[in-house]
Structure 1
Amino acid sequence: MVEPLAIAETNELGLSFDSAILASNSTDIDNNNSFYALVIGINDYPNLDRLSGAIADADRVVKFLSTNLQVPLDHIINLRNEEASRAAIIQGFFKLRDDPRIVKGDPIFIYYAGHGGSRREKRNSGAANEVQVIFPYDYGGQELESDRLINCIPDQTIATLLNSLSEEKGNNITVVFDSCHSASGSRDGSGVFPSMQPRCAPLLHDIPCDLDDDILGAAPARQRKSPACGSREKAWEQDQQGRFTTALLEVLQSCPVEKLTYHNLIISLPDLINQSPHCYGANKSRVIFNSRISSPQNAYIPVTFEREALTLGAGTSSGITSGSIWELHLSVAYDSQPFGRFTAKGPRVSTTTLTPFTEEDKRSIELILAQKSRLQLRLYARQLNAGTGNELKVWFSPQAARMLFHDSDRETSQISMPSKHEVGYIHHSREGADLEVEIHNIDSAPESLEVAFSICDSIAQAHGVSKIEQRKPAQRRNVESVLFAAARWNWHLRRINEQHIKEGRHSVIEMGMYKVGQSIRANRRELFQDPESVPVTYDEAGTAGLVEFVARSRDLYGIKLSNKRSVPLYVSMFFFDATDFSIVHLFGHSASNGQGDPELPADGELFIGDAVDGGSPLKFTIPLTKKVEVGHLKIFWSTDPLELDHVPQPSAFDSRSSRGVTKVSKHRVMKDWGTVCLTLVQHSPSER
């Protein structure tokens, strides 16, 4: 199993000061007397361009919290203009951390409206990385009793403050920044009016390498954040208010927060010219302000009406298949009622055409189109199933087949796929099956019989771990809960770009594994100056590799991706656990209502787990009772943004997530996507 280490997640994974939402792990907010907030708004910077709407935005946020969510005013720390000094902002985090009224797990909301900025600086590791910052009111002023200038607040400082807060009060922390760090301009000049002003500023002074050393002694944590724009965009204010905050509050006031996830909140924001708000973090499926509740349904994907056709904002790179069935909704509330079913036709790399499933569905969409402007139409799709041809092939022993099915249900050609499951399964002969199902204790009393599952995987079989230790009662309902999870797991693990196979193309991404450091003690680690390469054996195409190593709990790992193309790529990484069919999202952090930012630069590299821009290192462990475990690290890449928030799933055997996981080019480019996968054979230290 794999677990991201809880350390600083700066920039993309942790902090990026564009208009953004950092999603939280929250608790129940039925009693909002347990809700606490820090709200910051700065207009009148003495040494930076003045803003006109940041204070108004902060005040509107407070009004929403106190009126709509009934948060007591004495639970909200308010900092405006000169009150929002560097010392006061940092102290605001400490006040939340030390507030005895806040019980671990209570929802905490942090909001900042003001200038942001960025610069490439050398971190403590010596590597140059983009440092993203927010500016306090007194930026550039003189420190009392010192000749030092008052500096900005860098991303690492914010990450560390959040970690300190989360260690004391839990991970139910939501952070919103209505600012940006791009001081170089928007992607284009369209849609920018004289009355619009960006919330970004240049760094006027160097950032000392020892800045906030007194704070950085703590290990940063992982929250979720939403910036207001991509890294090449600006967060804009117009008519004395931030466009991102205005849009955010409109959505929050129009949809019950207890039915809204972070992902669905972001995609429901209206289009903001030259601004693409996005959400960072691994828990985007969580209900906002509530870490104990995830949406029981798949994530929504936006649908637009283009060229007289309904267009789904996802394609083959996101796993969309021709013939898949989708429900369309008018609201992003996770329990909203669909108005019709639609079929995917001819998916492209990043978009897919949807057509009505029945004549009644056709009439439903025609009625909606007649009532709404097609330019303003906002629809949201949720997948019901992935169509046929992707089913899990299951062999049932004769005893298991008799126990679980009627005679009429045992036809090998029959597809079992109730509408609520993405991927189904078919009865198959033992040869060529993906999974085997047998009765474990055939001589037991009928009420005590259990079913055992075995993965038909050559690597797992070679290491003697093809049989899954966990079992289910020999009842069809219980067994099928595992089969549908396994079907979905197998589909996302095995799917590739078939066109690359036909053309004999080599992988455009090189994927290497490195040991990057060691854990010293709880929440402390030592990173190596020169990461140690872990041997990987690849296939001829370079898209599938095998790694065998000893999984010691103290060892920390990272994944280095090298882009061999001259265009930037979006990437997302998942861990597929072969012990329980869970899928854990490890990297690929942004849900956006616009283009978002590619993670892997053109002809460049990305080091996932470098404890800086690539997020937390990975730690692999296996139970003391096991000698070997097999899992898979899979990278999905695309020239267009990926819609993969629907991929993660918990263990098929219990309600917990996988064990131990806590964790553009100006010219036209050819759209493409692909995958790279490492199979990890993890040996117990006691065996080596």
Structure 2
Amino acid sequence: MPPWSYPSALWKDLTATIWHHLTRLVLFLFSPRVLTPGTSGQQLDGDTNITPQPNIIVDKNQSSVFALIIGIDKYKNTDHFTTLRGAVNDATAFYKFLLDSRDKCGLGVPKSNVLFLEDEDATRDKILDAFESHLLKNPRIPDRGDASMILFFAGHGTRVHAPNNLISQDEMVEGICPVDERTSHGGKYVHTIPDYVLVHLLRELCEKKGQNITVIFDSCHSGGMGRGVGQARAANLDASAVPPELDSHLWMNQHPPPDARLSTTSAKTHVWLVACAANESARETIVDEPGQHQLVRGRFTKSLIEHLRTVDLENTTYLELLDRLPAWSGQTPFCGGDRRNRLLFDKKYPPTGRSAVSLMAGDNDVARERTWRVSMGVLAGVVPGTEFNVLDRDNHTVCTLVAQTVKIEETILFLKDGARPDVVIPENARAVVSDWKNNKMIMRVYVPEGFPHVGALFPTRRLPLQQGFVQATSRENAQIALRIPEDDNDSIVIERFTTIILECEPEARFPLSPRNAVLQLPAALNGIAHFNYFLERRHGSAPLDGVSLEVYRLVGNFPTREPDRRFGQNGNLVIDNQVLFKSEYGAKYGIIIRNVSSCELFPYLFIFDPTDYTIAGLYSPHSTTDPPLQSVVGEVTIGIGGQRALEFTLPRGMKKSTAFLKLFVTTKAIDIDWIQQEISPFDTDFQGRPRLAMSREVFQDTWDALTVTLTMTV
């Protein structure tokens, strides 16, 4: 069992900046009933409750789609909310897309799986009740199953003053606006539904029902503007501050789940498509609908649904869909979430694996040659000359492309010499590295004489395509060594010679079934090579001095936890890039990424677990245009205030264990979510991944990296 534990829903998007995009995400979700647009009050029982669900026997293996659609035009408080004209139209259009059959270019979702809330039905109480009845307690959604859950929201968003003692980047919290916000109900003022409440509810949803959650919303939080044609979907900022006790019943007397690993990625499971980036506006426009009068629509939703109806859903990822949307002035749609490289509305990754990346058309005016580009570059280890196989939807190789220009965030590719100049690369093709062209960074593996699996590991003296390791001639020039332990013939001991791991975890044990050794062992070593490479990855000249990673013990209760200044150096437990602490049940921790450099930066934080060689993402920016780490005084928080705190515990029987926090920072946004290694290379489900290497590099932007070692003892 891995040595690190934490609440199973640790969210990299729990930071204050990410909440710009998550606020509407949780409240609503899914129902086994349907509300036809225009009849939304028929399934609600009273003013605040949803009709209880009947007892239903659930097939644990079923994989269904459930959706909650919310569209609000007519807010009750017209002094604070401009009446919208296109939010309900957007919600209705998305509803129709879900229900239309596949031969009509829809998703083919049964009506009984969709709940539609519009206008007067989308009150604060009803939204919260709907979340519980139609999602958390919906017996038709299997617990911890594969059901795909979709949330669509169109309406007003807002920013209000944070409750007292709630740590926030700018003393504000964000929220979605229910239809009755800023009115009185039963003598009580109706507040927004704040982001930290959504965090808690979404965490519960993920823990109970599973990881396959997609969120789409067409709104913004820019403030001060109503949403009319050409205007933004955002409420003004005159709302009352949220009381600290509001919604506290949701998390009182709850305890974190036991033995949830710090390196697991089960928490980072949702994907969201958003109409605009921070400080931008989600605009409406007038469109001509066939056979209808002119309609007001959100331009994001209109374009999104048009593309959803035309793309190959089974072979298109969320990022690929986003790349198809137009770029409007002042409105930049974006996609967030760890699984944004997965196929649309599906928990599975493309059949080629996550190491396959989307292939996009390049600037074909360059030297009058055809070019393509992939979102892998310097930080990924791509070098000039790296070769990529182009795969069609059936994983057949179409041709080979070669890296010509390697930037920090992408690589420009040309056809390899000898390829047919008229080769046709199909739409939705993907590229996977076939030859890294740099043996210097290939992991060297030593095996002693008589090791029984030499043939499985090294079937040829040549380096096979996509293999990230070679046989070392001696222990002295190896990075790891393998041996069979005397007490267990069904496992392999991995001796580590890599400096940073050797000092903390000199050995690991790999359970191995002899009949699976031919397939399992090479894949496992590829995973170990991937782990070691990125753990050791650093910039030779450290150009971004001034970035630090701080770890704090927290005091207080959710959502007002703050650093406990009695520990460490004014609370910071990091000393000489190390954290040494004792295992203590219930102790909560948070992280601050701080920037005092002169550069605005994009941070990417991962946790590396050497016990099982897994890599999990803890934070990545929500926007590709707005750097979260401002220069000189910038900071990003993880687990503090209304965010989900970290917990570090030792499993029973262990006296010491280590993990590594790895922070990459760049001056330009990049896509490196694929660095994550969610499944342990020791797991029989692990399929391996290619080794990434680096030599000559083209630096058009700047990056840097730092590592903090976490060591816990009894």
Scaled by the length of structure 2, what TM-score is found?
0.76
Structure 1 unpaired stretches of 5+ = 186-193, 369-376, 539-544, 658-668
The answer to whether the aligner puts 1:418 opposite 2:465 as a matched pair is yes
Following superposition, the deviation at residue 458 of structure 1 comes to 4.2
Following superposition, the deviation at residue 557 of structure 1 comes to 2.1
Q: For residue 599 of structure 1, give the secondary structure of its aligned residue in structure 2.
A: coil
Q: For residue 683 of structure 2, give the secondary structure of its aligned residue in structure 1.
A: coil
Q: Distance in 2 between matches of 1:165 and 1:626?
A: 31
Give the letter aligned to residue 532 of structure 1: F
The answer to whether the aligner puts 1:200 opposite 2:234 as a matched pair is yes
Give the letter aligned to residue 611 of structure 1: I
The answer to whether the aligner puts 1:103 opposite 2:142 as a matched pair is yes
Cα-to-partner distance string for 1:347-378 (whole Å, 9 max, x where unaligned):
2223322121243264326x88xxxxxxxx98
- 1:44 alignment partner, one of 53, 70, 74: 74
Task: Go from structure 1 to structure 2 and tell me whether the alpha carbon gap of 1:439 and 1:179 turns closer, same or farther (over 3 Å shift).
Answer: same
- 1:404 alignment partner, one of 442, 450, 454: 454
Q: Distance in 2 between matches of 1:91 and 1:276?
A: 33
Q: For residue 454 of structure 1, give the secondary structure of its aligned residue in structure 2.
A: strand
Give the letter aligned to residue 217 of structure 1: W
The answer to whether the aligner puts 1:577 opposite 2:615 as a matched pair is no
Give the letter aligned to residue 55 of structure 1: V
Q: For residue 78 of structure 1, give the secondary structure of its aligned residue in structure 2.
A: strand
Q: For residue 682 of structure 2, give the secondary structure of its aligned residue in structure 1.
A: coil
Task: Go from structure 1 to structure 2 and tell me whether the alpha carbon gap of 1:249 and 1:425 turns closer, same or farther (over 3 Å shift).
Answer: farther
Give the letter aligned to residue 237 of structure 1: E
Q: For residue 178 of structure 2, give the secondary structure of its aligned residue in structure 1.
A: coil
The answer to whether the aligner puts 1:610 opposite 2:639 as a matched pair is yes
Match of 1:85 in 2: 123
Match of 1:300 in 2: 357
Task: Go from structure 1 to structure 2 and tell me whether the alpha carbon gap of 1:407 and 1:681 turns closer, same or farther (over 3 Å shift).
Answer: closer
Indicate if the aligned counterparts of 1:57 and 1:113 stay in contact, CA closer than 8 A: yes
1:112-511 alignment, distance < 5 Å: 112-119=153-160, 121-122=162-163, 124-125=165-166, 127=168, 128-140=170-182, 142-146=183-187, 149-166=189-206, 168-183=208-223, 196-210=230-244, 212-214=246-248, 216-217=250-251, 224=270, 225-239=272-286, 240-291=296-347, 296-298=353-355, 300-301=357-358, 303-306=360-363, 307-308=365-366, 309-328=371-390, 339-360=398-419, 362-364=421-423, 381-388=431-438, 389-400=440-451, 403-405=453-455, 414=462, 416-419=463-466, 421=467, 423-441=468-486, 450-458=491-499, 460-462=501-503, 465-473=505-513, 475-498=517-540, 500=541, 505=543, 507-511=545-549
Following superposition, the deviation at residue 223 of structure 1 comes to 5.3
1:506-525 alignment, distance < 5 Å: 507-517=545-555
Q: Distance in 1 between matches of 2:506 and 2:396?
A: 41
Q: Distance in 2 between matches of 1:38 and 1:384?
A: 42
Task: Go from structure 1 to structure 2 and tell me whether the alpha carbon gap of 1:387 and 1:180 turns closer, same or farther (over 3 Å shift).
Answer: farther
Indicate if the aligned counterparts of 1:639 and 1:673 stay in contact, CA closer than 8 A: yes
Structure 2 unpaired stretches of 5+ = 31-57, 101-105, 257-266, 287-295, 687-698
Match of 1:190 in 2: none
- 2:653 alignment partner, one of 620, 625, 644: 625
Cα-to-partner distance string for 1:465-485 (whole Å, 9 max, x where unaligned):
412122435644332122111
Q: Distance in 1 between matches of 2:522 and 2:573?
A: 38
Cα-to-partner distance string for 1:120-177 (whole Å, 9 max, x where unaligned):
635543554442222223333x31342x543332222333343454455444433221
Q: Percentage identity across aligned positions?
A: 24
Give the letter aligned to residue 228 of structure 1: A
Following superposition, the deviation at residue 652 of structure 1 comes to 0.8
Indicate if the aligned counterparts of 1:29 and 1:289 stay in contact, CA closer than 8 A: no
Following superposition, the deviation at residue 511 of structure 1 comes to 1.7
Q: Distance in 1 between matches of 2:497 and 2:401?
A: 34
Match of 2:682 in 1: 653
Q: Distance in 2 between matches of 1:50 and 1:434?
A: 64
Q: Distance in 1 between matches of 2:387 and 2:124?
A: 52
Q: Distance in 2 between matches of 1:635 and 1:61?
A: 38
Task: Go from structure 1 to structure 2 and tell me whether the alpha carbon gap of 1:212 and 1:290 turns closer, same or farther (over 3 Å shift).
Answer: farther
Indicate if the aligned counterparts of 1:124 and 1:209 stay in contact, CA closer than 8 A: no
Q: Distance in 2 between matches of 1:457 and 1:73?
A: 56
Q: Distance in 2 between matches of 1:601 and 1:281?
A: 22
Give the letter aligned to residue 668 of structure 2: D
Match of 1:60 in 2: 93
Scaled by the length of structure 1, what TM-score is found?
0.79
Q: Distance in 2 between matches of 1:28 and 1:274?
A: 47
Match of 2:627 in 1: 598
Give the letter aligned to residue 604 of structure 1: V
Match of 2:103 in 1: none
Indicate if the aligned counterparts of 1:25 and 1:171 stay in contact, CA closer than 8 A: no
- The range that moved more, 294-303 or 6-15, is 6-15
Following superposition, the deviation at residue 588 of structure 1 comes to 1.0
Q: For residue 600 of structure 1, give the secondary structure of its aligned residue in structure 2.
A: coil
Following superposition, the deviation at residue 528 of structure 1 comes to 5.0
Cα-to-partner distance string for 1:315-348 (whole Å, 9 max, x where unaligned):
3234433332224468xx7x66564321223422
- The range that moved more, 48-57 or 353-362, is 353-362
Task: Go from structure 1 to structure 2 and tell me whether the alpha carbon gap of 1:472 and 1:170 turns closer, same or farther (over 3 Å shift).
Answer: closer
Q: For residue 468 of structure 1, give the secondary structure of its aligned residue in structure 2.
A: strand
Task: Go from structure 1 to structure 2 and tell me whether the alpha carbon gap of 1:460 and 1:112 turns closer, same or farther (over 3 Å shift).
Answer: closer
Q: For residue 92 of structure 1, give the secondary structure of its aligned residue in structure 2.
A: helix
Task: Go from structure 1 to structure 2 and tell me whether the alpha carbon gap of 1:406 and 1:170 turns closer, same or farther (over 3 Å shift).
Answer: closer
Q: Distance in 1 between matches of 2:186 and 2:560?
A: 35
Q: Distance in 2 between matches of 1:261 and 1:406?
A: 34
Cα-to-partner distance string for 1:500-520 (whole Å, 9 max, x where unaligned):
16xxx57331122222259x9
Q: Distance in 1 between matches of 2:14 and 2:593?
A: 18
Q: Distance in 1 between matches of 2:684 and 2:246?
A: 41
Q: Distance in 1 between matches of 2:23 and 2:320?
A: 16
Task: Go from structure 1 to structure 2 and tell me whether the alpha carbon gap of 1:604 and 1:407 turns closer, same or farther (over 3 Å shift).
Answer: closer
Following superposition, the deviation at residue 59 of structure 1 comes to 0.7
Indicate if the aligned counterparts of 2:59 and 2:142 stay in contact, CA closer than 8 A: no
Task: Go from structure 1 to structure 2 and tell me whether the alpha carbon gap of 1:653 and 1:75 turns closer, same or farther (over 3 Å shift).
Answer: same
1:669-688 alignment, distance < 5 Å: 671-683=701-713, 685=714
Following superposition, the deviation at residue 674 of structure 1 comes to 0.5
Give the letter aligned to residue 437 of structure 1: L
The structure carrying a bigger strand percent of its residues is 1
Q: Distance in 1 between matches of 2:242 and 2:161?
A: 13
Following superposition, the deviation at residue 671 of structure 1 comes to 2.6
Indicate if the aligned counterparts of 1:18 and 1:231 stay in contact, CA closer than 8 A: no
Q: For residue 644 of structure 2, give the secondary structure of its aligned residue in structure 1.
A: coil
User: How many equivalent pairs are there?
Assistant: 622
Q: Distance in 2 between matches of 1:577 and 1:379?
A: 33
Q: Distance in 2 between matches of 1:63 and 1:125?
A: 41
Cα-to-partner distance string for 1:567-609 (whole Å, 9 max, x where unaligned):
321111111221222111111154x6xx343222222343443
Q: For residue 492 of structure 1, give the secondary structure of its aligned residue in structure 2.
A: helix
1:14-29 alignment, distance < 5 Å: 15-17=19-21
- The range that moved more, 201-210 or 97-106, is 97-106
